A and B are shown apart, each in its own frame.
Chain A
Amino acid sequence: MANVLMFAEVRGGELRKVALEALVAARRLAAASGGGAVHAVLAGAPGVGAHAAALANGGADQVLLLEHDGFAHYNPEALTATLAERLRGGSYGYALFSATAQGRDLSPRVAARLRTGLAPDLTGFRVEGDAVVGEHFTMNGKVVATLALSGSPALLSVRPAAFQPAADPRPLATEAITSAADPMASRVKVTALRQGNSGTLDLNDAPVIIAGGRGLKAPEHFRLCDELAAAFGNAAVGATRAVTDEGWRPHSDQIGQTGRNVSPTLYVAIGISGAIQHLAGMRTSKTIVAINKDKDAPIFKVADYGITGDAFEVVPALIEAVKQAKAQG
């Protein structure tokens, strides 16, 4: 039996959906290794403890609450010291992180501090004897590797959207903890957070993604994507590198090898050719729709449904049709 320490990601004071996903993975890990407890580390400025209830509801047996002004922003050095100290205590067999910019910054630091193994960005895993065996994309998403992770504590990070958040309520048990290093003395200091398109869903949280490519021809035509996203209601808008290079959309909207990895239920690619570097970031989407006037575009090789037509004719019709479908419930 081994306890699992999980790191609950907070950004700008908000608990991220990936934290609840990681909690589901942590519960599964605890169960697979003989039914240990799941402890969630929740760090932030005073007040962040308000999210403890969500973590208990998602399956945390205990919330380790680290409230200090020095954690108002992500504080990698103080968090590394604190997590390493907890893990050295010996009661944890595993530590679990989200494979996000934050989790993929923090987990290697902790692994190196403890000289222990880290299996990154897993899409699934199981426990086999003393080892965790999990799947991890390599080769730009073209090859799935199975990694065997041994040693204790073993560190894992799980890919956003690979696990679905679920209610698994426990009585709320919160323990206030202190930082193992002075959080105000970190050499690396986050001084500001620049949120992206606030008000719209983040690409990793949206069940539907409408992505536009160079085929849209001008930044103002992304209105078509925005309107289609609004018609779906639960959608975010993404783009190709051709588009972000042109400055039509911010770099943070870029999907692909050098951008975001997304895995929504529905991915609608509009005026996107389907270059391998783009496919690397979206090919694991559940259903893919492509609208492209070139019937030979590679995007049609991965699309479930394709329309080989002009986006400027097809998309307005699609917007109306989706609105109608939604209205009919």
Chain B
Amino acid sequence: MKIAVCIKRVPVMEAKFAIAGDGTRVDETGLKWDVNDFDLWAIEAALQLKEANGNQGEVVAISLGPDAAQEQLRKAMAMGADRAILLQCDRPPADGLAVAEALAAELAGGGWDLVLFGRIAIDSMNQMTGPMVAELLGLPCVTNVCKLAVANGAGEAERALEGAAEVVTFPLPAVLTIDDGLNKERLPSLKGIMAAKKKPLDVKPAALGAAHVAQVKAALPPERAAGRILGDSAAAVPELVRLLQTEAKVL
């Protein structure tokens, strides 16, 4: 199995965000970075598939981003990916199609059995890159995969919907986007971390597509007004019900 996994370097979301001087994006000063959560599950899925196939083939991690994203690619290799590719650009653009075109250009003709994505990048929250790349490559695509079985050149997946799921069959090669619930990612072992330092990491410029979507402003949502503590026992219930009726008007 030859599997590509597209991973994104994203800020650690526990941060208290501030807006940069130009008003169009977050201030990156002091932010910590990690692999997008969903992409960790995509890496894990790729590693499990490779292992289930007698460790034949390879898992390649690909990221589009700044030089610093090499750290996230090293993490993917420490988890077990065989090699990595950085498609270098200063900062990934807001337009998912522009990113998808660069990833598709790299992936085209690579002989992949599977190309895996996260369902969504938790910074852009675009949730579009995977199916766009699939379309650009002409490959079948299943999104939101929360259960997966692959055998004999075909797969069956479960796709998570709001409050339901679809069972989906597809032929390989295919593009999948991985949702929460498929697996728990492994932690890189010390041995894995050491090995990752010697694994190949190719760096090349990203061939970004034209952008149709621009992020023109970023703002922090209005803080919720401080709430009220009504009491510490069931004695506060009548007051709560009164407020829900008269003040919030939701009952």
Interface residues of A (CB under 8 A from B): 11-12, 73-74, 76-77, 80, 100-102, 104-105, 107-109, 111-113, 115-121, 133, 136-151, 154, 160, 187-197, 202-204, 207-208, 232, 244, 251-254, 257-260, 265-266, 276-277, 280, 283-284, 286-290, 295, 300-310, 313-314, 316-318, 321-322, 325-326
Contact = CB atoms under 8 A, between A and B. Distances in A.
17 contacts: A11-B161, A107-B128, A108-B129, A109-B132, A143-B26, A144-B218, A148-B214, A149-B213, A193-B167, A251-B181, A258-B179, A265-B250, A286-B250, A287-B248, A307-B230, A308-B231, A314-B233
Interface string B172-206: 00100001110000000000000000000000000
Kindly list the 5 A-B residue pairs having the minimum CB-CB distance in the complex, ordered from nearest.
A117-B212, A258-B180, A112-B135, A146-B217, A108-B128
Looking at chain B's contact residues, the main secondary structure is mixed
Given A192-B166, A309-B234, A314-B237, A276 B13 contact: yes
Contacts of B169: 188-189, 191
Given A108-B96, A108-B129, 8 more contacts: A101-B144, A120-B127, A154-B212, A190-B168, A207-B250, A287-B248, A304-B227, A318-B240
Nearest to B126: A120
A306 B228 contact: yes
B59 interface: no
A203 B163 contact: yes
Given A146-B218, A251-B180, A314-B233, A194 B212 contact: no
Given A187-B171, A309-B233, A252 B95 contact: no
A287 B237 contact: no
B182 to A, nearest CB: 10
Interface string B39-83: 000000000000000000000000000000000000000000000
A139 B26 contact: yes
Interface in B1-46: 11, 13-14, 17, 19, 26, 37-38
